[in-house]
Amino acid sequence: MLKALGYRRRELFAFILAESFGLAMSGAVLGVFGAWIFSLNAFKLTQGVFLYFELTPRIAGLALAVAGFLGIIASVAPSVAVARMSVVNGLKTLD
């Protein structure tokens, strides 16, 4: 639909890439926040199974970096497919 409105291939590629990256990063932020909350009370919540559970800034940063990388990698194939699709074929699909 956006192609029919005049958007170029690189703009469509960037839209899909940004959407995938945003979803991956929002999930990563929620996950890191949940892990941080869990790390505050890990001993009590697990009744002693986890004696020590630490979430360092390095681990949180690595988790965010991996999520961002996977979000970008996961969107490359759909972005290329949309960029190569013709306007007529794009409007014919019901997805």
pLDDT of residue 74: 93
CA dihedral 24, 27, 29, 30 (to 10 degrees): 180
> Tens digit of pLDDT for each residue in 68-94?
999 999 999 988 888 787 777 777 776
Distance CA 76, CA 54 (A): 34
For CA atoms 68, 74, 77, 79, give the dihedral sign.
Answer: negative
Are 26 and 77 in contact by the 8 Å Cβ rule? The answer is no
What are the residue ranges spanned by the domains of the chain?
9-92
Query: Could you tell me the pTM of the whole model?
Result: 0.76
pLDDT of residue 94: 64
The more confident residue out of 73 and 6 is 73
